[in-house]
């Protein structure tokens, strides 16, 4: 990279669930926190996406603050990256509308997340917001003309749609958007459910004991680790026949920074009980600084509002530039 060229722009977003688990942390957030050192990073909390399924407004507001506090506690330093709330920035929904005009309905109907969510819907009501969800997500990305979009495997299809739409816009009007690169981090540890180690750790895990939340009290974390499913035999080895033990080894490795092979030799001959105790200790130790930082800031609305304000300011600058370009190309008369 030459000296003059600005750092590449990273954008990623997450819904304001108000909770994060160790899978989110080791699989994504720790990786984002490293990216801020060498990239211009925008991290959005996407409240507009959150209303595409039934929800409670007061809960959404709380969860949005909680999510922000959690990100900061996890090490996303607002001095080094732009943390913003989607609804604070004009342009996301505007651009989604324009992209919608270029997107065949069939392409949206074929999205696996739409199919899953509409099948799982608790009532017969399926809002068109759910169908249009990927348009808003494409707008989130293109509005910042992002170079890199770090997402999990489950969002790959949405990012591909975004790439299609960027190309389509460029062809229909003229070269406008960078076609962003999908960036699925390989480095992060993939933590699985403690109760069903074939599936990834998830907040929608039917047995909540399979999911370790960053804000779970130490005793809860210990209990969950202790009750993790293990495999037959007593060897502590990361092998395909031992998904439970492999998962605990991955978790211990992520928490302690030690290689799985080292851990295998250290626990050679030790029983599952001792091993699990060590895993629990390491998990508790790993989340401690996050919990401490969270405790300091989560009730400080003034501080959190300030972070949102700064983030929105920076995000809006970049968003307006792109939006006015898009409006011009689309043939809208400029507002003077």
Q: Give least dist CB 190 to ligand TRP, A.
A: 16
**What is the distance between the alpha carbons of residues 5 and 232, in angstroms, rounded to a whole number?**
56
Find out whether 320 and 91 touch, Cβ atoms under 8 Å: yes
Compute the residue count for the chain. Answer: 336
Two tokens at 334? 């400029």
Cβ proximity to ligand TRP: between 151 and 211 the closer is: 151
- Identify which of residues 49 and 242 has a Cβ nearer to ligand TRP in the complex: 49
**Minimum CB–partner distance for residue 323 and ligand TRP (Å):** 16
Half-sphere exposure of 64 (CA within 13 A, CB side): 26
The Cα 183–Cα 167 span in angstroms is 18
- The DSSP bridge partners found for residue 85 are 45
Smallest distance, ligand TRP to C-beta of residue 236, A: 33
Q: Name the residue whose CB lies closest to ligand TRP.
A: 13
- Residues near ligand TRP (CB under 6 A) are 11-15, 46, 49, 137, 140-141, 149, 151, 155, 158
Name the active-site residue from 117, 168, 178, 329.
117
Asked if residue 72 lies in contact with residue 297, where contact means CB atoms within 8 angstroms, the answer is yes
Q: Name the active-site residue from 80, 178, 200, 325.
A: 200
Q: Which is nearer to ligand TRP, 12 or 247 (CB)?
A: 12
Q: Is 314 a catalytic residue?
A: no
Task: Kindly report the three-state secondary structure assignment for every residue of 16-58.
Answer: CCCCCEHHHHHHHHHHHHHHCCCCEEEEEECHHHHCCCCCCHH
| Residue 5 CA to its chain's centroid (Å) | 28
Q: How far is residue 34's CA from residue 27's CA, in Å, rounded to a whole number?
A: 12
- Tell me whether residue 117 is one of the annotated catalytic residues: yes
Nearest CB to ligand TRP, comparing residues 26 and 267: 26
148-150, strands of its sheet edge to edge: 82-85, 40-45, 9-14, 148-150, 181-183
Closer by beta carbon to ligand TRP, 14 or else 108: 14
Contact call for residues 6 and 40 (beta carbons, < 8 A): yes
Distance, CA of 68 to CA of 63 (rounded, Å): 9
* Residue 11 or 290 with smaller CB distance to ligand TRP: 11
Q: How far is the CB of 147 from ligand TRP (least distance, A)?
A: 13
In the bound complex, what is the minimum distance in angstroms from residue 28's beta carbon to ligand TRP?
A: 9
Q: What are phi and psi of 145, to 5 degrees?
A: 45, 50
Smallest gap from Cβ 276 to ligand TRP, in A, equals 31
- Which of the following is catalytic: 203, 314, 325, 329? 203
The verdict on whether 200 is a catalytic residue reads: yes
Q: Which residues are catalytic?
A: 117, 200, 203
């Amino acid at each position: 990279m030459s000296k003059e060229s600005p750092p590449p722009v990273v954008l990623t977003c997450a819904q304001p669930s108000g909770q994060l688990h160790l899978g989110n942390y080791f699989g994504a957030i720790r990786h984002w926190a490293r990216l801020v050192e060498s990239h211009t990073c925008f991290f959005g909390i996407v409240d507009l996406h959150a209303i595409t399924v039934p929800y409670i407004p007061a809960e959404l507001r709380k969860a949005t603050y909680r999510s922000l506090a959690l990100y900061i506690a996890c090490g996303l330093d607002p001095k080094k990256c732009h943390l913003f709330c989607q609804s604070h920035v004009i342009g996301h929904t505007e651009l989604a509308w324009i992209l919608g005009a270029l997107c065949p309905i069939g392409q949206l109907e074929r999205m696996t997340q739409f199919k899953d969510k509409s099948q799982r819907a608790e009532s017969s009501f399926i809002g068109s917001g759910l169908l249009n969800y990927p348009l808003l997500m494409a707008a989130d990305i293109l509005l910042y003309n992002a170079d890199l979009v770090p997402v999990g495997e489950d969002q790959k299809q949405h990012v591909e749609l975004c790439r299609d739409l960027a190309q389509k816009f460029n062809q229909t009007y003229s070269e406008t958007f960078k076609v962003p690169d999908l960036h699925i981090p390989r480095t992060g540890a993939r933590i699985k459910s403690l109760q069903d180690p074939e599936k990834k750790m998830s907040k929608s895990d039917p047995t909540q004991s399979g999911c370790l939340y960053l804000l779970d009290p130490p005793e809860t974390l210990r209990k969950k680790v202790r009750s993790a499913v293990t495999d037959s035999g007593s060897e502590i080895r990361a092998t395909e026949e031992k998904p439970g033990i492999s998962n605990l080894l991955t978790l211990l490795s992520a928490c302690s920074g030690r290689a799985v092979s080292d851990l295998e030799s250290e626990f050679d001959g030790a029983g599952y009980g001792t091993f699990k105790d060590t895993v629990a200790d390491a998990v508790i130790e790993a989340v401690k600084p996050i919990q401490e930082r969270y405790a300091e800031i989560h009730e400080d609305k003034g501080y959190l509002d300030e972070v949102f304000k700064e983030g929105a300011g920076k995000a809006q600058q970049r968003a307006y530039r792109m939006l006015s370009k898009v409006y011009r190309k689309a043939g809208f008369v400029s507002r003077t």
